[in-house]
Chain A
Amino acid sequence: MKKNNSIKICLAQTNPKVGDLKKNIENHIEIISGAKDKGANLVVFPELSLTGYFLKDSVYDLGININTDEAAILEPIYKAAKDLDISVIAGFVEKDADFNFYNSSCCISKGKLINVHRKVYLPTYGMFEELRYFKPGDGFGVFDMDGVKVSVLTCEDAWHLSSSYIAVNKGAHIIIVNSASPARGITAGLNKFNSMNMWEELLSVIAFYYKSYVIYVNRVGFEDGIGFSGGSCILNPLGEVEKKLDYLEEEVVSADINLDLLNNERFKTPLIRDENLNLTLKEIEGIINKGTKK
Chain B
Amino acid sequence: MKKELPKIDEYNFPLIYKHLSNFIKIEVSKARVNSVVLGLSGGIDSAVACYLASNALGKENVAALIMPYESSSGSSMDDALKVVKTLGISHYVIDITKQINEYFTKEKAVAAPDDIRVRKGNKMARERMSILYDYSYKLNSLVLGTSNKSELLLGYGTLYGDMASALNPIGDIYKTQIYQLAEHLDIPKSIITKAPSADLWEGQSDEGELGFTYETADGIMYLLIDKMYKPEVVVSLGYDENLVNKIYDKIKKSQYKRRMPLIAKVSERTINIDFRYLRDWA
Residues in B neighbouring A225, C-beta threshold 8 A: 23, 27, 167
Closest Cβ of chain B to A132, distance in Å, is 9
CB of A20 to closest CB in B, whole Å: 10
A187/B281 in contact, CB under 8 A: no
Asked if A193 contacts B23 (CB within 8 A), the reply is no
- Nearest A-chain residue to B171, judged by Cβ: A225
Contact A223 B280 (CB under 8 A): yes
**Quick check: B12 and A188 within 8 Å, CB to CB?**
yes
Q: Is the CB of B276 within 8 A of A248?
A: no
Given contacts A54-B278, A224-B280, contact A186 B16 (CB under 8 A): yes
| Contact, CB under 8 Å: A222 / B23 | yes
Q: Is the CB of A18 within 8 A of B9?
A: no
- Assess whether B27 is in contact with A56, with CB atoms less than 8 Å apart: no
B26: CB under 8 A from chain A? Answer: yes
Instruction: Name the interface residues of B1-41: CB closer than 8 Å to any CB of A.
Output: 6-9, 11-12, 14-16, 18-19, 22-23, 26-27
* A189 near B9: Cβ-Cβ < 8 Å: yes
Contact of A248 among B9, B11, B19 (CB under 8 A): B19
Q: A249 vs B14: C-alpha distance in the bound complex, in angstroms?
A: 13
Q: Which of A42-64 contact B (CB under 8 A)?
A: 54-58
- Chain B: CB-nearest residue to A54: B278
CA distance A57 to B281 in the complex (A): 10
Could you give 12 example pairs across A and B, Cβ below 8 Å? Answer: A54-B278, A56-B276, A56-B277, A188-B12, A190-B12, A191-B12, A191-B15, A192-B12, A192-B15, A221-B26, A223-B280, A249-B22
Question: Which residues of A are found within 8 Å of B9, using beta-carbon distances?
Answer: 188-189
CA distance A183 to B17 in the complex (A): 13
CA–CA, A18 and B18, complex, Å: 22
Residues of B within 8 A of A57 (CB): 275-277
A190: chain B residues within 8 A (beta carbon): 11-12
B211 CB → nearest A CB, Å: 28
Q: Please, which residue of chain A has its CB at the minimum distance from the CB of B172?
A: A225
Q: Is A136 an interface residue (CB 8 A)?
A: no
Instruction: Kindly list chain B residues whose C-beta atoms are within 8 Å of the C-beta of A224.
Output: 278-280
User: A18 — nearest CB in chain B belongs to which residue?
Assistant: B280
Contact A19:B12 (CB < 8 A) given known A186-B6, A222-B23, A227-B23: no
Q: Which of A1-47 contact B (CB under 8 A)?
A: 15, 18-19
**B26 & A222 in contact (Cβ 8 Å cutoff):** yes
Q: Which residue of A lies closest to B30 (CB)?
A: A222
Q: Give per-residue flags for A235-272: 1 if the beta carbon is below 8 A from chain B beta carbons, else 0.
A: 00000000000011100000000000000000000000
Contact B26 A248 (CB under 8 A): no
B residues apposed to A, CB below 8 Å: 6-9, 11-12, 14-16, 18-19, 22-23, 26-27, 167, 275-281
Q: Mark A178-203, 1 if CB is under 8 A from B, else 0.
A: 00000100111111110000000000
Known: A56-B276, A188-B9, A225-B23. A19 touches B167 (CB 8 A): no
Q: How far is the CA of A192 from the CA of B14 in the complex (A)?
A: 9
- A224→B276 CA distance, assembly (Å): 13
- Residues on B with beta carbons closer than 8 Å to the beta carbon of A188: 6-7, 9, 11-12
> Per DSSP, are chain A's interface residues mostly helix, strand or loop, or mixed?
loop
Tell me which of A15, A18, A187, A249 contacts B278 (CB under 8 A). Answer: A18
Q: Which of B12, B27, B281 contacts A58 (CB 8 A)?
A: B281
Cα distance, A18 to B282, chains bound together (Å): 8
Closest to B279 in A: A224
By a CB distance below 8 angstroms, the chain A residues around B26 are 15, 221-222
Q: How far is the CA of A183 from the CA of B12 in the complex (A)?
A: 13
With the chains together, A247 CA to B18 CA distance in Å?
9
Cα(A197)–Cα(B42), bound, Å: 37
- 4 further A-B contacts with Cβ under 8 Å, apart from A57-B276, A225-B167, are A55-B278, A183-B19, A189-B9, A191-B12
Q: Which A residues touch B12, using CB under 8 A?
A: 186-193
Closest 8 CB pairs of A and B: A188-B7, A56-B276, A191-B11, A222-B26, A224-B278, A57-B276, A186-B6, A186-B12
Closest residue of A by beta carbon distance from B269: A57
- Cα–Cα, bound, A190→B7 (Å): 10
A25 to chain B, nearest CB (A): 19
Chain A residue with Cβ nearest B22: A248
With both beta carbons as reference points, the residue of chain B lying nearest to A133 in the complex is identified as B276
Q: Are B281 and A19 in contact (CB under 8 A)?
A: yes
CB distance from A196 to the nearest CB of B (A): 9
CB distance from A101 to the nearest CB of B (A): 15
